[in-house]
Structure 1
Amino acid sequence: MKFGEQLRTSTIKEYQWYYIAYDELKNQLKPAYEEPSSSSAGRKGKGKKKEWTEEDEGAFINRMEQELDKVHTKQKVKAIEIGRRIASSEKEVSDVVARLDQRGPGETDGPTEEEFMMLEEDLSDIIADVHDLAKFVQLNYTGFQKIIKKHDKQTGWHLKPVFATRLKAKPFFKDNYDADIVKLSRLYDIVRTRGNPVKGDSAAGGSQSAFIRNTTKYWVHPDNITELKLIILKHLPVLVFNASKEFEAKDSAITSIYYDNPETWDLYEGRLKKTEGAEAIRLRWYGGMDTEQIFVERKTHREDWTGEKSVKARFGIKEKNVNAFMKGELLPAAVFEKARKDGKKPEKAIAEDERLAKEVQYSVLKKGYKPVCRSFYNRTAFQLPADARVRISLDTELTMVREDNLDGKIRSGDNWRRMDIGIDYPFSQLPAEDIERFPYAVLEVKLQTQVGQEPPEWIRELIASHLVEAVPKFSKFIHGTATLFPDRINLLPFWMPQMGVDIRKPVTQHFGIQRPGHSAQSLSTSDDDDDDSGDEEEYESQDSTPRAGSAENGSRQDRDLRNRQDFPGGNNLDIEEQLAAMPLNEDYPLYDSDDEDEEENALEEARRVGGWPYYTKVLKKHAKLVGQRTLTALHAINPVPKPTSMPRNGGIQPLGNGHIESRRFKAPKGKKIHVPVRVEPKVYFAAERTFLSWLEFSIYIGTIAATLLNFGSKPTKASFIAAGAFSIVAILSLLYSVGIYLYRSNSIRARKAIKYHDKYGPSVLCGALFVAVVLNGVFELKERGYF
């Protein structure tokens, strides 16, 4: 679906007169044609295309200014309205809670269930308004970017740099609604719990020194960030570390400095290969650069076969002491001297922190670890206070920055961090080679569930929805190091090829923000119809589902609701497993490109001109169509094995039309892509047992050969040939088994992603043995005179 059509089908009724007039602007860019001359009057088509003039450019810019002012005004007015509605709801909730607190024991007077339901409906409506405004902003921003790109491409005049300044003057797309989301989360939690929200330490996690979690990671496209936050806050409140103060942007900022040896990159390769005991050492702080408390953290990876879980341990240290500690000038005992005197923390916990400090300091000094990479992001955490069983965090504006002093350039110097930047995203003062701006948000779902316990149903639906893309074991440290040091890192993580693929997916199920009183939900998906869609500063945002109020949409959604079944538990396949079980079709484009649009334009241009150029293009088009259909027919009759269809959960629909977009990736020249391979001790034993089985088989065949040669009535030519044949088979199988065993052992030790099954060996061995038996029978029968 092209963007113009996408814009029309995604129109929200409230905003229908305030969207960018994309089709009109596109028509204004269509070239005009001169009247055909007398010499060409007999030919079909129009005259020569007119050049784009300064007058045309001025008219186009004026229209763009009008559209920008229209969109910016509507966004500003609606944002103010939402802010006032939140303030009004806040007052109403406070009144209801005050009446609830004034109620004495045993009294029945107070707020009724109906009042709470009305408040919840009110807040749900505000949440839907925030969602719709975010979609309106994203769609219009995409429209401006696309029309500017189309203008520069068709006219040859460069409007993009000039209009970027005008967009900054009216930045309707800059609001991220985080402050509104924090307020809505608090109010919705109060109403949802009927005035009894879960109490506890809101800084859960800040006081923990070592904890174990089961964490899964996902990428989230910028188009879906606000919608995802609004969905989660209906189930979990936003975790606020300091509820006594108003929310500020710096409250969500988290910065980490990662250490490694810039010569050997031991920590990078250990974390990438997930070797047993691999460590990551980082220094982290929350908030701005003026924060005094710094956390020294160490992550340790443990293989599953060890029976242990990967652990993150950390201790706090004052910022003024970090340099002395990391250089070995300040010993761990001195770091915790004040904590021991205060007596606010148990001696056992202080002893554990001190042991960790000693180990970290020893590793840094012994192995030459230095600051190499910084990660910055704004985190929105969702968690019940003092309850870490379910914790969801969403990291946005993720940025990696070089902290090293390599290549003769001083960045951090002798300090443990560079001081020329703070939390001023997007760090425009840095050169391009020092920074990597990650294009997606990172969602982490952290669960502390008991053995056999299923995660909450809404989490299962969330991670199976179109809003997220699973990227297991994604690491900010690994990604930042691999991208910032391309000349020094040759082993790349497995997700690097995926960076060039659009992760947005069509809507897979009835899941999203629902406005009270409507059966339809606001859903979002994306299509891409223009070239250069990989620009870092641009991303497209579309909403492919018709809005509530459409009769066709309502009936379709109602039908989905009737057909939908809940996610079953147990071993039923989830949405990702279902998709993985489906056959691949490399010809299916999940997102269309601009190529088809350009071909249609070229054909239309040739039709206007007429003559031989037009007929040539028509023939090429039909020849291409015939070739595609021929290939499709050949694929259909090709006798290849068909995959077994896997059972699906009721109501869950696969992506698109049942197809999956698949691509083959190749590592850049001189580099390798590391594919995670799980290796357990039993794998070594399995390879050894296989070798011993081959060895035993070779001995049996060798024994047969020796028996034929030495224990007959008299050595004959037939027995000699048969014994030789069996001996050759025994020797070949022995050599083959030794070679395979060495190959497998080395591959397992190096964690190579190879095929460990033996596809041809057993068949060749059986064939050779069959030939040997047949030869033995033939020569024996011949020796006895049967033929």
Structure 2
Amino acid sequence: MKFGEQLRSSMIKDYYWHYIAYDDLKDALKTEYVTEPTPANPKPDRKSWTEADERRFVALLESELDKVATFQALKSKEIIQRIKASEQEVNQVVARLENPASFSGAERPTDEDFMLLEADLSDIIADVHDLAKFTQLNYTGFQKIIKKHDKQTRWYLKPVFAARLNAKPFFKDNYDAFVVKLSRLYDLVRTKGNPVKGDASAGGGQQNFVRQTTKYWVHPDNITELKLIILKHLPVLVFNPSKEFEEKDSAISSIYYDNPETWELYKGRLQKTEGAEAIRLRWYGGMEVDQIFVERKTHREDWTGEKSVKARFPMKEKHVNAYLSGDMTVPAVFEKMRKEGKKSEQQIADWEALAKEIQYRVVTRNLKPVCRTFYHRTAFQLPGDARVRISLDTELSMIREDNLDGRRRAGDNWRRMDIGIDWPFRQLPPEDIERFPYAVLEVKLQTQAGQEPPQWIRDLTASHLVEAVPKFSKFIHGCATLFPDKIHLLPFWYPQMDIDIRKPVTRKYGIERPTQSTSISTSDMVDEDDDETDDEIDGNGQTSNGNAATQGVSHDTVTNYERNGALSATRNELDVEERVAADFLAGDEDYPLYDSDDESDFSDALEEARRIGGFYYYRMLLSSYLRRTGHITWEVLKAITPRPRATQMADEGTNGITILGNGRRTVKRFIAPKGKRIHVPIRVEPKVYFAAERTFLSWLEFSILIGSIAATLLNFGSDYVTFASAWVFTIIAVICLVYSVVLYVWRVDKIRKRRDVKRIYYEKWGPTFLCLGLVSAVLVNFILRAKHGQLASGDDQGRPHLFQVDMSNQTVEEVGNIRGLEL
């Protein structure tokens, strides 16, 4: 969808006059013609862009920025005031519910009172959603118009206007504080003053815990909307409700270790080999945090009957270096903890056993810090309940921690100290950091066998807001991106980074907006913008300062929310666009814009021709009709031409799973960069090896059978025909035997290496050549036998012999060869 069309289709009616005047700014970029257009010269040269034109355009741009920033600030303050007012009302109603006697003349709150409060909070949630969309669209509009200005005028405004944007950073507002407060209030109202209570860190104290996790990517455009949808079903997990929310409370940092020579941990986690480990050190909050968690994730294959496990133990930051180098013994690490007596002896013993194993692996395998991951996490769950937990990680960044190229990043320390949690880490060079362009949504479930997830989760994961990426790993992606010269085996999702994951809305799903705000249809105005869609905003996530072990549960409420101002639900195929690395406007690189430099100006030319009139206008109009007619004719011909067609898929299933597009699926074949391979996950169980062995034994059986035929012919035949046939069968038997041995060894090697090779699972040419060889051998035997039988009754030329019988002496005399038969 073009940006101008997207802007108009996404406008909120109540906000209409506060959006950026994108069309006016586009018109301001056009200077006057040198001469008036005529039918003979419909496109005369325009006047050069002057300093006066630049001042006029900048003044208009400044006024639009003031308009947008002022409205955004006022609306944000209004939402804050509404939240405070709703908080007072909710607290008052809950207080009346708990102690009605303290309110003279006040009745006990009814269900209707809670319904009114819920409706009011739903309206505030919709306001937050609309304001976030308003901010994102306007910021994208400013980026687009600045880029168009610099391209057309060659006067580069971007560096100068970046300072003006930073002076009025309407696009940098963090809505996480709104989300946290609205989540608490909405949970109070929906549960009628009886929210689920429990330990917010339930599960965090466990040494070992097992999860069933599904991962998704979320485009920055959809982050705020996704949070607002989830908070209507699950509250935001807060570890310290009495503390005011701070951004650092949601920060999570992890240092991953590996051998920089062999990359054994990376390869093991990527290939999912049995027993593959990942070792990391994690902390929550800023760099001043003293408690560090040492974690080990161990992968287990399903055929083992075990589950993948994550085990961890806490330790003080001051002991980390000595512990990892082996200078500090494990009992010394837990000596103080044992003296304090706050933990049971059994738990300390389990931690010591784990600490010894990790220390042994770090020392013996020469593991070094290689990659850091940083993100802000928003966790949704009911306190103390571990059935369903949803976490959203935003501002995800992968950072190098190694010393491989001669630069002393971490040095002899277990982590580098030149950065903290100051995202987006502008002080780092581009080669040291990978800013992931999407948020990562994790849905963690603990359901009984055969039990399905709640309906609202199925609706959410089937919506246009998320893109499923199974087995996505921050550690694997970081290593593959930051070490291109050393990593040659890439994860399967790596090529998807060049594809826009945004999807067209094929059904109404999202935030329900009350009737006072409606969308403006694209049919109200004609789009003159020829740029492609380009919208990218910053998405921030949050969670409370806690650990990743915490899980939660969903409510049973199931409601589909209609998003107001949604994009048009046209069934378009997904666009494949170039993804530019994410960065801020004030950085060295461009902010990621999804558009093309090859822009068509045909619609502008047609409007200009309409103004000029005459023969030129009719010629342009005819050209427009011909283009449209040609396109329609081509589509009709494609529809009626007999050819293989893909099976049409339903637009929307009854189970809540949406099939996007027009029934067709766009398939892109990815090719790995030169010198690299893309690893596709392959599930290998012991029975796969046995199947390969059985296949080899079957080939061996055929080879022995064919060899037996050859031996029989050779031993019991007495003429050259039998001898020749025996040789043919012997050659086929030997070829089959050698082929089966080579194929078996090759298959076992590929299975062991987990290579995605089709011939591992089926053999296309071998049986065919075997059948052709057998047919050839039988035909050779038949032809030679037939020809030998004919020669046995004739001479070398195949002519019949004539015999004369002398009756007088009872002898047979051969008379000779003649051409005819004579008596």
TM-score (norm 1): 0.86
- Larger deviation, residues 129-138 vs 631-640: 631-640
Residues 642, 656 of structure 1: alpha-carbon distance in 2 compared, 3 angstrom cutoff? closer
1:345-424 alignment, distance < 5 Å: 345-424=343-422
Paired amino acid for 1:167: L
Are the equivalent residues in 1 in contact too, given 2:139–2:537 (CA < 8 A)? no
Matches of 2:533 and 2:515, distance apart in 1: 41
Are the equivalent residues in 1 in contact too, given 2:510–2:562 (CA < 8 A)? no
Q: CA RMSD in A?
A: 3.8
- Deviation at 1:330? 1.8
- Deviation at 1:649? 2.3
Matches of 1:483 and 1:430, distance apart in 2: 16
Paired amino acid for 2:754: R
- Deviation at 1:652? 5.1
Q: Percent identity?
A: 63
- Deviation at 1:724? 2.5
Q: 2:85 aligned with 1:88, yes or no?
A: yes
- Deviation at 1:329? 1.9
What is the SS of the residue equivalent to 1:199?
A: coil
- Deviation at 1:536? 10
1:647-666 alignment, distance < 5 Å: 649-650=653-654, 653-666=658-671
Matches of 1:468 and 1:360, distance apart in 2: 36
What is the SS of the residue equivalent to 1:473?
A: coil
Are the equivalent residues in 2 in contact too, given 1:509–1:652 (CA < 8 A)? no
Q: 2:12 aligned with 1:7, yes or no?
A: no
- Report the equivalent of 1:732: 735
- Report the equivalent of 2:74: 77
Q: 2:720 aligned with 1:720, yes or no?
A: no
Are the equivalent residues in 2 in contact too, given 1:466–1:504 (CA < 8 A)? yes
- Report the equivalent of 1:568: none
- Larger deviation, residues 118-127 vs 722-731: 722-731
Paired amino acid for 1:10: S
- Report the equivalent of 1:63: 60
Residues 589, 475 of structure 1: alpha-carbon distance in 2 compared, 3 angstrom cutoff? closer
- Report the equivalent of 1:161: 159
Structure 1: stretches of 5+ with no match in the other structure:
540-544, 558-578
Matches of 2:732 and 2:657, distance apart in 1: 55
Are the equivalent residues in 2 in contact too, given 1:589–1:661 (CA < 8 A)? no
Across the two proteins, how many residue pairs are aligned to each other? 741
Residues 611, 392 of structure 1: alpha-carbon distance in 2 compared, 3 angstrom cutoff? same
Matches of 1:532 and 1:266, distance apart in 2: 42
Residues 240, 11 of structure 1: alpha-carbon distance in 2 compared, 3 angstrom cutoff? same
Paired amino acid for 2:153: T
What is the SS of the residue equivalent to 2:17?
A: coil
- Report the equivalent of 2:678: 673
- Report the equivalent of 2:701: 696
- Deviation at 1:666? 2.3
Matches of 1:175 and 1:688, distance apart in 2: 62
Q: 2:231 aligned with 1:229, yes or no?
A: no
Which string of whole-angstrom CA distances, capped at 9 and with x for unpartnered residues, describes residues 348-392 of structure 1?
Answer: 221111111111111111111111111111100001111121111
- Larger deviation, residues 196-205 vs 631-640: 631-640
Paired amino acid for 1:70: K
Are the equivalent residues in 2 in contact too, given 1:588–1:659 (CA < 8 A)? no
- Larger deviation, residues 735-744 vs 240-249: 735-744
Please point out which of 254, 274, 277 is paired with 2:275. Answer: 277
Residues 3, 294 of structure 1: alpha-carbon distance in 2 compared, 3 angstrom cutoff? same
Paired amino acid for 2:733: A
- Report the equivalent of 2:602: 600
What is the SS of the residue equivalent to 1:598?
A: coil
- Report the equivalent of 1:542: none
Are the equivalent residues in 2 in contact too, given 1:239–1:382 (CA < 8 A)? yes
Structure label with greater radius of gyration: 2
Matches of 1:468 and 1:394, distance apart in 2: 11
- Report the equivalent of 2:775: 770
Residues 549, 663 of structure 1: alpha-carbon distance in 2 compared, 3 angstrom cutoff? closer
Paired amino acid for 2:305: G
- Deviation at 1:625? 9.7
What is the SS of the residue equivalent to 1:17?
A: helix
TM-score (norm 2): 0.83
- Report the equivalent of 2:499: 501
Residues 548, 290 of structure 1: alpha-carbon distance in 2 compared, 3 angstrom cutoff? closer
- Report the equivalent of 1:574: none
Which string of whole-angstrom CA distances, capped at 9 and with x for unpartnered residues, describes residues 576-603 of structure 1?
Answer: xxx9xxxx99999999964774262797
Paired amino acid for 1:97: V
Are the equivalent residues in 2 in contact too, given 1:412–1:419 (CA < 8 A)? yes
Paired amino acid for 1:190: L
- Deviation at 1:32? 2.6
- Larger deviation, residues 754-763 vs 224-233: 754-763
1:131-530 alignment, distance < 5 Å: 131-516=129-514, 530=531
- Deviation at 1:501? 1.1
Which string of whole-angstrom CA distances, capped at 9 and with x for unpartnered residues, describes residues 556-594 of structure 1?
Answer: 99xxxxxxxxxxxxxxxxxxxxx9xxxx99999999964
Residues 3, 517 of structure 1: alpha-carbon distance in 2 compared, 3 angstrom cutoff? closer
- Report the equivalent of 1:564: none
- Report the equivalent of 1:750: 753
What is the SS of the residue equivalent to 2:171?
A: coil
Are the equivalent residues in 1 in contact too, given 2:292–2:316 (CA < 8 A)? yes
Q: 2:696 aligned with 1:682, yes or no?
A: no
Residues 498, 549 of structure 1: alpha-carbon distance in 2 compared, 3 angstrom cutoff? closer
Matches of 2:326 and 2:260, distance apart in 1: 19
Larger relative contact order (Cα-Cα within 8 Å, sequence gap ≥ 6): 2
- Deviation at 1:775? 3.1
What is the SS of the residue equivalent to 2:144?
A: helix
Residues 147, 588 of structure 1: alpha-carbon distance in 2 compared, 3 angstrom cutoff? closer
- Report the equivalent of 1:110: 108
- Deviation at 1:152? 0.8
- Deviation at 1:632? 9.3
Are the equivalent residues in 2 in contact too, given 1:46–1:609 (CA < 8 A)? no
- Larger deviation, residues 77-86 vs 415-424: 415-424
Residues 618, 780 of structure 1: alpha-carbon distance in 2 compared, 3 angstrom cutoff? farther
